[in-house]
Amino acid sequence: MVHPRVASTETQPHDGEGELLPTRPLRATEIERFDDEADVVIVGFGGAGASAAIEACGAGARVLVLERGSEGGGSTAQSGGILYFGGGTPIQRACGFDDSVEEMFKYVLAASGPNPDEAKVRAFCEGSLEHFAWFLEQGVEFKPSFYAKKTTEPPTDDCLLYSGNEDCWPFNLVARPAPRGHKPKTTGSAGGLIMKRLMARATALGARVMENARAQTLVVDADGRVVGVAARVLGERRVVRAHKGVILTAGGFIMNPRMVAQHAPKLLAVNIQIGNPGDDGAGILMGVGAGGGTICMGEGFVSMPFYPPSKLVNGIIVNEQGQRFVNEDAYHGRTGDFILRQSGGRAYLIVDNNSYGRPISGMQLKAAEETVAELEGALGLPAGSLTHTVDFYNRHAAAGADPLFHKKRDYLAPLSEPPFAAIDLSIDKAVVPGFTMGGLDTLPTGEVVSAAGTVVKGLYAAGRTTAGIPRSAGGYSSGLSIGCATFFGRRAGRAAAATTTERHGEG
């Protein structure tokens, strides 16, 4: 959706189709009457929204959820459902892994990127065991089993996996490695199961869910406090009063090409947008309209899922100079981020007969030859570059070492069995899924803050609408998105419900 600029003289902003603009909140005085009311109004019934609804209802608030789809679930329902927990969960312990809050904190902080929110990371790690127990209370089960293969998502009903860079260089120097990806007990993707449980619990606790209700802009009082939401419900405008607060949990902006180009142009390289049509940035724009600040809007996840099969990790990834630039056992989001930074976005996975396997993601074979020198020629790499790289790699791999990038011994074997092949991981040729990571700036409570750092009264946000904990593709781990969306969604629900109810001026 494209949002044209609004002339500053307009009092009632509309776009060409008569819709309200998210960046221009309505004043309460402009509203003849509210069509509905609740204590807490939540925009979006995905992972963050459902978690907020459960906690707000649990705290005794009357909750109304506006969901633009004909049913809730959002990207969370489409997802693999991997959740990031640590600090010694019952599953980690049952599988024989030693973890602590402090080790988890060190890793998540390092993985958060150059601008980490230490308070949020601390809260997330210290609250992880409680959050795991909360999922059990919602009826989500986890099998006490470890999935050891390198994968993007276990196809089985196994639970625990290394879902990021925990055991990879350089993160294994920062914190003691432990697997923290937890997939609920179901074969294949688990996002649908998670949302089934969370949505059922929210409605059982009394949350009212209005579907086909697309929030358009916020309503503010004379003090700038957020007191409601205007929405399109099956073609009709409805304005809802929120006595305690509004929580924006409407996803990110990967589906809005204009916003991607404006704020995160590196994500224009993405050819599979990870998200749902609601990821059009409306939640972020509504928050900005009411005075919220944004941060890390240029950050995004850029994946290069060249594995499974995991034996492909035995190959080496080279750029158009024929040189390695990343440890191939790194998480696929880190690999994607590094490839994006190579000249021309060019990269090839070089394998021999022993390490070749057809990538399940559909990456294409670029060339296959009997010798490394012939492959170098077929790829148009500088003469001697790839042969030098492979010679150096093989010499050390034979001794179980990778002095340049410290790939784990499990994936170190000389590339010596012909034929040799190159799988094209170039950005314009490969499968490149991605999503946005920036969004509204929030406190660990879920309160939205302005660019100046002041709280926007009555406004809360969580999930992809916010810049949560993972703010760097280079450090992202699977499970941090839903882990943080649900964790901070819960906090926003509790904080909004705890707001003292007063009659605020509506002038």
Residues that bind ligand FAD in the complex, under the rule CB under 6 A: 43-49, 66-69, 72-76, 78-82, 214-215, 249-251, 274-276, 278, 282-283, 463-464, 478-483, 485
Q: In the complex with ligand FAD, which residue's Cβ is closer, 145 or 394?
A: 145
Q: How far apart are CA 63 and CA 241, in angstroms?
A: 11
Find where tokens 């009709």 sit. 236
Report in angstroms how near the CB of residue 84 gets to ligand FAD at its nearest: 7
- Contact present, 418 and 408 (Cβ < 8 Å): no
In sequence order, the 6+-apart residues with CB closer than 8 A to the CB of 378 are: 366, 367, 369, 422
Report in angstroms how near the CB of residue 321 gets to ligand FAD at its nearest: 33
Q: H-helix or E-strand containing 97?
A: none
Report in angstroms how near the CB of residue 190 gets to ligand FAD at its nearest: 8
Q: In the complex with ligand FAD, which residue's Cβ is closer, 190 or 390?
A: 190
Q: In the complex with ligand FAD, which residue's Cβ is closer, 303 or 499?
A: 303
Report in angstroms how near the CB of residue 97 gets to ligand FAD at its nearest: 19
Q: In the complex with ligand FAD, which residue's Cβ is closer, 79 or 151?
A: 79
DSSP state of 115: S
DSSP state of 473: T
Angle at which helix 480-498 crosses helix 128-137, to 10 degrees, equals: 80
Q: In the complex with ligand FAD, which residue's Cβ is closer, 232 or 346?
A: 232
Q: In the complex with ligand FAD, which residue's Cβ is closer, 240 or 375?
A: 240
Find the residue with minimal CB distance to ligand FAD. Answer: 46
Q: How far apart are CA 480 and CA 483, in angstroms?
A: 5
Q: H-helix or E-strand containing 241?
A: strand 236-248
Report in angstroms how near the CB of residue 250 gets to ligand FAD at its nearest: 4
Report in angstroms how near the CB of residue 80 gets to ligand FAD at its nearest: 3
Q: Which residue, among 475, 162, 437, has the nearest Cα to 338 in the 3D structure?
A: 475
Q: How far apart are CA 80 and CA 194, in angstroms?
A: 10
Q: How far apart are CA 451 and CA 364, in angstroms?
A: 45
Q: In the complex with ligand FAD, which residue's Cβ is closer, 291 or 489?
A: 489
Q: Which residue, among 94, 160, 93, 89, has the nearest Cα to 125 in the 3D structure?
A: 89
Dihedral sign of CA atoms 318, 323, 328, 333 in order: negative
Report in angstroms how near the CB of residue 49 gets to ligand FAD at its nearest: 6
Q: In the complex with ligand FAD, which residue's Cβ is closer, 275 or 474?
A: 275
Report in angstroms how near the CB of residue 460 gets to ligand FAD at its nearest: 13
Beta bridge partners of residue 220, listed in sequence order: 27, 226
Q: Which residue, among 352, 357, 348, has the nearest Cα to 430 in the 3D structure?
A: 348
